[in-house]
Copies of this chain bind each other. A is one copy, B any other.
Amino acid sequence: MIKPVAPDSEFTIRELAQEFDVTPRTLRFYEQKGMITPSRRGAARIYSAADRARIELILRGKRVGFALDEIKEILDLEAIDRGGRERLEPAIERFTARIQVLEQQREDVERAIAELQAGLAWMRERLEDRTPSDDVRRRARAFEALAQARLDPWSGAPSAG
């Protein structure tokens, strides 16, 4: 799944920053946190294909809501592995827990997509200056419920009557 580049490729900080749409500062920051360890040519950083793969994973992790420290833990898998069996078990538990969080999140993402699409349909119908169709209304019911939370206090429905 990692983009195919020659395994002996080398990259400058600027190249990778541009490719992944981050600033050089960001990559130095990740290095400072111990998440990547590019080699040096003099003082200048040289990134390998493996460094590049790590950066990909870091950014992917970020997009799904992991904190950098959590991503670091994932990246340090083999460090855990080499650290003896006592560290393996708690790590396994944390990984398992994270997977559950991610599965919850997958559901959240799909709901969010559905909700935004419902809102979108609603807005598009408004744009065409017609009152929303029954079909759109049905799919946008969540939004209507939410809208009421905003409208009711002003339109006066105090004691549930």
Q: Which A positions have Cβ atoms within 8 angstroms of B? A: 1-2, 7-8, 10, 36-37, 39, 48, 50-51, 53-54, 57, 60-61, 63-66, 74-81, 85, 88-89, 91-92, 95-96, 98-99, 102-106, 108-113, 115-117, 119-120, 122-124, 126-127, 142-143, 145-153, 158, 160
Main secondary structure of the interface of A (DSSP, over half): helix
Copy count, this protein chain: 2
Chain B residues, CB < 8 A from A98:
116
Question: Contact between B149 and A48 (Cβ–Cβ < 8 Å)?
Answer: yes
A39 to B150, CA, bound (A): 11
Chain B residues, CB < 8 A from A147:
77-78
